[in-house]
Chain A
Amino acid sequence: MSHPKYINELTKNTLSKKGYGYLLSLFLRIFSSYSSSGSIPKAQSDVSETSNQKENTALFHGFLKSLIGSNSLKYIAKIPDSYKIYFFINKLIQSFSKEESITSADDKTNLQISSFQDQITEIANAIEYSTLPIILDLFFVDPIPSIDEISAKYSKSPERITNITATFRRELARIYQPKNMEEGAVFLEELHHYLVKINKINTSVN
């Protein structure tokens, strides 16, 4: 289960030893899931475990610094407890993604992805996380299933599924307007990959 208590400690500058341990452990879990997918460079194999730990801890401290520097902690303090962990994780991913796009700045595709990143993160933040698997199963599969199929799979009424899809479409259209199909398809591909990562992390955290 997630522990907003420790995030609350962090926002109040009263982070306990236990809270520090929890957030560090959460950070490393996400870090390793990125490493295994290749998004974040893995530590080199000839580096000792201790120095890996030092590097990871330093990275964690860097992340905390960035949270403080971007005033994100003030924002986290205002959102409901149930969403705090979700937001915290999203900030982590955003921070990782930016790092990744900077290191690959020569790559044209990555430059384009980087220009989408803020919109993608905003869309992800607008999705209620319990509905994320439904959105992935409905919009990002080939062939696209019917509302009735998704309704049966998740034991929710077709009307409820329709509402979820309508909310997602509305938020997407509010945040991002494609210039054309080509750009829209690239955007959706990146959004898809990002949502899969978040869903994977949500599943492992819960």
Chain B
Amino acid sequence: MDYTKTYAFIFAPEGSLWKAPNRIWKTEFARNKPAEDFHPALVQRIKRDNYTLQLAPGTSKSYEQGSCIFKIKLRPSFITSYFLLMFSMPYVIDDLIKLKRGWANINELNYQQKKDLIWQIKMCKG
């Protein structure tokens, strides 16, 4: 049995949420933001090596809903988050698990939200 698959599945499951500092993004998404700023990050996909993943940044900034914006309210009372699927970047699990787990006290999307995420990724990336 390949326990690295189990490792990826347990410690960085797809649809899990993390508290990420802006500095981990090199794209313009985080430009001019203080390094101390945190925002939600979503594990969009685990790659075939079971070690690298695509991490999508979340923001509360309102975007027009498009096929590459995963729009979701993590909790009924919580502000809507927009996860920018096209801004996702490669990240490794060993670095990810050093971040704080969860956002808005939610560690991972629920069953229906994960299904919606998978659908959204299909719509965005084909």
The answer to whether the Cβ of A5 comes within 8 Å of any Cβ in the partner chain is: no
Interface-facing stretch out of B20-28, B69-77, B104-112: B104-112
Q: Is B10 within 8 A of A169, CB to CB? A: yes
Q: Is the interface of A mostly helix, strand, loop or mixed?
A: helix
Establish whether residues A172 and B3, one from each chain, have CB atoms under 8 Å apart when the complex forms.
Answer: no
Is A184 interfacial (CB 8 A cutoff)?
yes
Distance of A66 Cα from B97 Cα, bound (Å): 37
- Point out the residues of chain A lying under 8 angstroms from B94, CB to CB: 178, 180-181
**Nearest chain B CB to A167 CB, angstrom units:** 10
Docked CA distance A177–B94 (Å): 10
Given contacts A173-B101, A184-B11, contact A144 B107 (CB under 8 A): no
Chain B contacts of A189 at CB under 8 A?
1, 3
Are B7 and A178 neighbours in the complex by a CB distance under 8 Å?
yes
Q: Does B40 lie at the interface of the complex (its beta carbon under 8 Å from any beta carbon of A)? A: no
Sorting the interface of chain A by its residue count into under 10, 10 to 19, 20 to 34 or 35 or more gives 20 to 34
**Chain A contacts for B110, CB-based, 8 A:** 159, 162
In the complex, the answer to whether B3 meets A185 with C-beta atoms within 8 Å is yes
Q: Is the CB of B9 within 8 A of A173?
A: no
Contact residues in A for B33 (Cβ distance below 8 Å): none
Q: Which residues of B contact A158 (CB under 8 A)?
A: 111
Q: Is the CB of A188 within 8 A of B111?
A: no
CB contact under 8 A between A144 and B9, given known A166-B107, A181-B4, A185-B4: yes
Interface size on B, residues (CB 8 A): 21
B-contact bits for A103-136, CB 8 A (1 contact / 0 none): 0000000000000000000000000000000000
Question: Whole-angstrom distance from the CB of B15 to the nearest CB of chain A?
Answer: 10
Report which of A139, A142, A177 forms a contact with B2, defined as CB distance below 8 A: A142
B107 touches A170 (CB 8 A): yes
Q: Does A89 contact B (CB under 8 A)?
A: no
CB–CB A139/B7 < 8 A: no
Say yes or no: B11 contacts A173, CB within 8 Å.
yes
Measured between beta carbons, the chain A residues less than 8 angstroms from B3 are 185-186, 188-189, 192
Of all chain B residues, the one with the shortest Cβ separation from A142 is: B1
With a cutoff of 8 Å between Cβ atoms, the chain A residues found around residue B5 in the complex are 142-144
Is B58's CB within 8 Å of the partner chain A?
no
How far is B110's CA from A188's CA once the two chains are assembled, in angstroms?
Answer: 24
The answer, among A139, A170, A178, A186, for a CB contact under 8 Å with B9, is A139
Residues from 100 to 122 in B contacting A, C-beta threshold 8 Å: 101, 107-108, 110-112
| Known contacts A144-B5, A159-B112, A161-B111; 19 further A-B pairs (Cβ under 8 A) | A139-B10, A140-B1, A140-B6, A141-B1, A142-B1, A142-B5, A144-B9, A158-B111, A159-B111, A162-B110, A169-B13, A173-B11, A178-B97, A180-B94, A181-B93, A181-B94, A186-B3, A188-B6, A189-B3
